[in-house]
Amino acid sequence: MPAPVSTPLVVVLVGTDHHPFDRLVGWSATLAAEGWASWFVQHGATGWPAHAPSTLTGSPMLADTELRQLIDTADCVVTHAGPGLLMDAAAAGHRPVVVPRDPAHGEHVDAHQLRFAARMAETGRVRIARDVGELRYAVQQALRSRRTGAVPDGPGAVCDRLSALVTDTLARRRLVRSS
């Protein structure tokens, strides 16, 4: 008799910024209602969806040990474009799905997450989702990759590249400001 197939766990992390991130939390509720995965959302300042399906659980904030345990046990990590969470996900062997906060939606003060996510996507180290359809596709791709063990170059190399990219991006920004 075959072993029962467990439902994959998608962990969504919006970070600790005081701006709400209604788009990502709402998209998570929509996709959780489809039933092909269980979703956990760290929703920060964002309110909880009024009609959250049973396949959606969450918490406003997480202790560091809880956060690391969730990332380690997740089948897919979805996050905003915060370098810290991206590095945590990469260290656990994930190629995260990134939904950058967009100031046009009141999700942040400027467009730095949009620029950073685009740069990270150029390296192939993250998948970007700009709408619920892209999020569905990117998460399903991540789940397929996770099942096959296809993590490019391993978590150490991903962290090294992410660190170098952050350093390079900050250095460029300093050069632009000093010109």
Give the mean model confidence (pLDDT) for residues 63-67: 96
What contacts 135, CB < 8 A, 6 or more positions away?
Answer: 27, 31, 78, 97, 99, 129
Phi and psi, residue 56, nearest 5°: -120, 120
The pLDDT of residue 1 is above 60: no
Helix 83-91 to helix 64-73 angle (10° resolution) is 50
Q: Which domain holds residue 13?
A: 9-178
Measured CA to CA, the distance from residue 17 to residue 171 in angstroms comes to 24
CATH number at residue 59: 3.40.50.2000
2 in a structural domain: no
166 in a structural domain: yes
Give the mean model confidence (pLDDT) for residues 154-177: 58
pTM of the model as a whole: 0.79
Each residue of 72-110: pLDDT tens digit? Answer: 999 999 999 899 999 999 999 999 999 998 878 768 777
Q: What does each C-alpha distance from 56 to 17, 28, 76 come to in angstroms?
A: 21, 8, 14
In this prediction, residue 3 carries a pLDDT of: 47
3 in a structural domain: no
The pLDDT of residue 36 is above 80: yes
Measured CA to CA, the distance from residue 65 to residue 110 in angstroms comes to 30
Measured CA to CA, the distance from residue 48 to residue 32 in angstroms comes to 13
Question: How many domains are contained in the chain?
Answer: 1
pLDDT bin (cut points 50, 70, 90) of residue 147 is low
